[in-house]
Structure 1
Amino acid sequence: MSTPEAVVSTGTDLLADAVAGQAVPVTRVDWRPPMEDTADDLATVATDPLRRDANARALAAMLGVTATLVDVAPASEVLGLARGEFLHAGPPITWDRASGPLRGALMGGAALEGLVDAPEQASALFEAGTSVSLEPCHHRSAVGPMAGVVTPSMWMLVLEDPATGRRTYCSLNEGLGKVLRYGAYAPDVLDRLRWLGNVLGPLLRAAVRSVRDAGTPVDATAILTQMLQMGDEAHNRNRAGTLMLLRDLSPALVTGAADAGFSSADVAAALRFVGGNDHFFLNLAMPACKLALDAARDIEGSTMVVAMARNGTDFGIQVAGTGDEWFTGPAQVADGLFLGDYGPDDANPDIGDSAITETAGIGGFAMATAPAIVRLVGGSVPDALATTRRMREITIGENPRWTVPVLEFAGVPSGVDVTRVCRTGILPQINTGMAGRVAGVGQVGAGLVTPPAEIFPKALAGLAARTRARG
């Protein structure tokens, strides 16, 4: 019997180790049985004549988008938010089911808008529900980190695909710790938000419009390409991306300040704030990813996930082939590292729209580009490398623009496939921050989390139903 040229191992490592010891190349596959009660739906979707081409089109549409920063403006102006209207992260939710950090952020937002004199008075306002409304950011082409609360006076980053004119939006990043997006609402939190609206927002608008009108708008997609080469994974590590954004905007910030009515001290404060806030670029990475994924929406037969989002109570996904329908399950508590004396009992279940980064193939999917991230979210460097490799088993393809140097510049795994998740049992890996479960606490840590497993069979059932209905 001749020696095989290569062996694929789907069992325990004992056999694979024995073969490798005989100098035979071994490919180890993390095989698991399909998720329970998915066999019939998997068979139906697998034989859908539209699926292969639909997924190819969805992936190509996502990869074909370029996201440029074209404006910064109040949410009332670019999203049409009226007084009393609030956006939030994740799938739809009502006040009675809202988590602590979401409630805290809504209370702070109500005080910011002058709907109440103090955040503590806002509970009655939301319980009555007569003069306020809640809506997911995703329903307005926006994304919001953590609680994701957006109010009319908040300033938004506006990203655009030059080829189509489509736009997406995200608020300005407040920094870490006790901030509104983590559910904090102390006076200093509201003062910072007012400064973002009165000083930083208008300064950024002048700078962004200046470079845009000069024909050199900030190319967020290109920055993402570079930052992945520089040790960022664009979810919990954005240091290189933030510094490149400053590089592109600083000259225009300085030269345009006087025309916008601001002093050199205002410019210095803005540069100091952004430069000292490593997460600032996250709020460009998120809408850049949403802009790309929205291009893949509404492709009949596609099994590609186009949104993963959490509101602190529910985790929801949307799929290219099922329209705007949300498939939801209970959000999970992240496993990671905690700040100070905080521990697992202090953490709220996962929250935020920032998992749009993983949906697009970065963040947890690109952990191999940022081995230093394990010092923030836990795990080890080998874990980071293994995670990126494992995500290839549940994705449709790779992104040739966003590559992983340590993996021979292979593209990041892109296009989460509902059928592959159900067939392998492997869940998407997400890097996340952790908010305190009690309103007003703020950030308590950071870690790793996966979606609740049951949402993928739900999505698969929705896809199978549509396939059967087409006959």
Structure 2
Amino acid sequence: MSTLHDLISTEPSVVTAGVELFDDALAAQAVATHRVEWRPPLDGTDEDLARVMGDERRAAANARAIERMLAASAELVDVRPAREVLGLQPGEFLHAGPPLSWYRASGPMRGALIGAMLFEGLADTPDDAEAKLAAGDGIALQPCHDRGGVGPMAGLVSPSMWMFELRDETHGQTSWCTLNEGLGKVLRYGAYAPEVIDRLRWMGEVLGPVLQTAVRQRGSIDIKGIISQMVQMGDEGHNRNRAGTLMFLRELMPDLIDSGAPSSRVSEVARFIGGNDHFFLNLVMPAGKLQSAAASGIAGSSVVTVMARNGTDFGIQVSGTGGQWFTGPANTPDGLFLGSFGPDDANPDIGDSTICETMGIGGFAMASAPAIVRFVGGTVPDALYTSQLMYEITLGENPAYAYPILEFRGAPTGIDVTRVVRTGILPQINTGMAGKVAGTGQVGAGLVKPPVECFTSALSALAAQSPLPS
């Protein structure tokens, strides 16, 4: 126990909360401080918070959710067309984010749908594709998440697109994602020029089949293991995947060479993967889906299992409420722009790639990837502070994704709805930005946060399901 003598004979250490002025003033006088990020609960949530936090099931349910998330594995087991993986038929399309209709779709989502129509041969021109999509005859749209998968940016999946198929052997679940097209003018950013369609056809004719042969020959590849290594090598898994891509290529190269494909095709595939730093993102994402899916459907749990956006809405799902979507208007990222593009060119947030933050990396892991600030904006101290702040809204730490700069502390994992509402701290996301006009493509990259109403509405739903106190 400290005595009065201890208090006056040792250097003071002050805990500060609230406005930054007090902390800054002490720091200017060389006084050691421990800043606590405290804010009052969000307005109008007291009753729901009390109901959910008083639920006797909650502690055990959340502990089980975190245990299942940390135990999830992720192995690449196959590469197949979507028509085989999901049974998609002509006119059926999957998209990123919560449910959406053509009439509510943003520019990049419409552009991606137009491109998918052209790619599938369901329309001859962009105008023809747009007219058919607007009419809706024979067209069906469904979120990727509702089929157990994920899609970057617009997230468009059509029957002929090839997909990575990953499996969590621990819990017996599978997930999937399309193959990454690269950067710039690509379908996932809403571009549909002839070169975009030509690249998709090459991916279907060359990239997919060659990868399929190599992966089947290999048997499986431990994607979670590669993610673990890349986080310690300067990648955060969302907007920086350079180390992950090269490690994946190293793992698969012998099997590519032994695949029996002509050497010219093997070199095409190796050159495409090696020249596309984001190729591995489309493997990180289904690994994240497997991790979060392992925690879904646990009664009483307030753990977030999905964060996703469709360019119009941002939506989340929570373990204790199953597949129910809680949505709010998608915010527009703030960051750095390519070429002559500026803020007026950017579409609101879009894509399922926020599964990275849901699993505890991406924007949560910027402390481990300080170089990312040169791509999305901010500073290195900002990156360190952000990662440390995310521990305030999560329930566990994932030792598989350890941050060297934080003494190998595990990634903050298991976003808790009640912690978000109690603190007012929203999950930090780093992301690419799509042009808001259909056909533009990527215009930049930046930082963004979800709308508050996703979490307050999820809290209300949890409260409605919580037993009344006895």
List runs of 5+ in structure 1 lacking aligned partners: none
- Partner amino acid, structure 1, of 2:164: L
Partner of 2:271: 272
- Tell me the CA shift for residue 119 of structure 1: 2.7
Partner of 1:459: 458
Partner of 2:217: 210
Please list, as runs of the form range in 1=range in 2, the aligned pairs for 1:372-387 lying within 5 A after superposition: 372-387=371-386
Partner of 2:222: 219
List runs of 5+ in structure 2 lacking aligned partners: none
Distance in structure 2 (CA, Å) of the matches to 1:470 and 1:77: 49
Deviates more, 1:156-165 or 1:286-295: 156-165
- Partner amino acid, structure 1, of 2:412: P
Distance in structure 1 (CA, Å) of the matches to 2:26 and 2:210: 62
* SS of equivalent residue, structure 2 residue 302: coil
Distance in structure 1 (CA, Å) of the matches to 2:327 and 2:111: 23
1:230 aligns with 2:233: yes
- Tell me the CA shift for residue 127 of structure 1: 1.2
Q: TM-score, normalised by structure 1?
A: 0.96
Q: TM-score, normalised by structure 2?
A: 0.96
- Tell me the CA shift for residue 196 of structure 1: 0.4
1:434 aligns with 2:433: yes
Partner of 2:449: 450
Partner of 2:328: 329
- Tell me the CA shift for residue 128 of structure 1: 1.3
- Tell me the CA shift for residue 19 of structure 1: 5.9
Distance in structure 1 (CA, Å) of the matches to 2:26 and 2:402: 31
Which of 69, 74, 79 matches 2:76? 69
Distance in structure 2 (CA, Å) of the matches to 1:54 and 1:105: 39
Q: Is the 8 A contact 2:71 2:170 kept in 1?
A: no
- Tell me the CA shift for residue 14 of structure 1: 4.6
- Tell me the CA shift for residue 18 of structure 1: 6.2
Which of 160, 177, 201 matches 2:208? 201
Partner of 1:391: 390
Which of 106, 114, 122 matches 1:107? 114
Q: Is the 8 A contact 2:54 2:469 kept in 1?
A: no
* SS of equivalent residue, structure 1 residue 131: coil
- Partner amino acid, structure 1, of 2:251: D
* SS of equivalent residue, structure 1 residue 461: helix
Deviations 1:379-429 (A, max 9, x none): 000000000001111111111111110011101111101000000101000
Deviations 1:164-198 (A, max 9, x none): 33100000000000000000000000000000010
Which of 119, 125, 150 matches 1:143? 150
Please list, as runs of the form range in 1=range in 2, the aligned pairs for 1:214-363 lying within 5 A after superposition: 217-256=220-259, 258=260, 262-363=261-362
Distance in structure 1 (CA, Å) of the matches to 2:24 and 2:122: 65
- Tell me the CA shift for residue 433 of structure 1: 0.3
Deviations 1:309-342 (A, max 9, x none): 0000000000001111000000010000000110
CA gap 1:25/1:456 in 2 versus in 1, 3 angstroms = same
- Tell me the CA shift for residue 12 of structure 1: 3.4
- Partner amino acid, structure 2, of 1:280: F
Distance in structure 2 (CA, Å) of the matches to 1:285 and 1:295: 16
- Partner amino acid, structure 1, of 2:233: M
- Partner amino acid, structure 2, of 1:193: L
1:121 aligns with 2:128: yes
Partner of 2:416: 417
Please list, as runs of the form range in 1=range in 2, the aligned pairs for 1:32-181 lying within 5 A after superposition: 32-181=39-188
Distance in structure 1 (CA, Å) of the matches to 2:273 and 2:22: 53
Deviates more, 1:119-128 or 1:180-189: 119-128
Distance in structure 1 (CA, Å) of the matches to 2:359 and 2:172: 20
Deviations 1:130-175 (A, max 9, x none): 2110000001111000000000000000000123331000000000
Distance in structure 2 (CA, Å) of the matches to 1:416 and 1:115: 41
* SS of equivalent residue, structure 1 residue 244: helix
Deviations 1:274-304 (A, max 9, x none): 0000000000000000001001000011100
Distance in structure 1 (CA, Å) of the matches to 2:357 and 2:35: 24
* SS of equivalent residue, structure 2 residue 452: coil
Give the paired residue count: 463
- Tell me the CA shift for residue 124 of structure 1: 1.3
- Partner amino acid, structure 2, of 1:184: A
Distance in structure 2 (CA, Å) of the matches to 1:19 and 1:144: 47
* SS of equivalent residue, structure 2 residue 466: helix
* SS of equivalent residue, structure 1 residue 168: strand
- Partner amino acid, structure 2, of 1:240: A
Q: CA RMSD in A?
A: 1.5
CA gap 1:223/1:125 in 2 versus in 1, 3 angstroms = same
- Partner amino acid, structure 2, of 1:466: Q
* SS of equivalent residue, structure 2 residue 278: coil
Distance in structure 2 (CA, Å) of the matches to 1:470 and 1:355: 36
* SS of equivalent residue, structure 1 residue 135: strand
* SS of equivalent residue, structure 1 residue 454: helix
Distance in structure 2 (CA, Å) of the matches to 1:245 and 1:236: 17
CA gap 1:435/1:18 in 2 versus in 1, 3 angstroms = closer
- Tell me the CA shift for residue 26 of structure 1: 3.0
- Tell me the CA shift for residue 33 of structure 1: 1.3
* SS of equivalent residue, structure 1 residue 151: coil
* SS of equivalent residue, structure 1 residue 143: coil
Quote the sequence identity (%): 63
- Tell me the CA shift for residue 129 of structure 1: 1.0
- Tell me the CA shift for residue 374 of structure 1: 0.3
CA gap 1:16/1:66 in 2 versus in 1, 3 angstroms = same
Q: Is the 8 A contact 2:51 2:468 kept in 1?
A: no
Distance in structure 2 (CA, Å) of the matches to 1:46 and 1:446: 37
* SS of equivalent residue, structure 1 residue 173: coil
Deviations 1:66-124 (A, max 9, x none): 10000000000011111110000000000000000000000000111111112331111
- Partner amino acid, structure 2, of 1:410: R
1:28 aligns with 2:35: yes
CA gap 1:469/1:313 in 2 versus in 1, 3 angstroms = farther
- Partner amino acid, structure 2, of 1:209: R
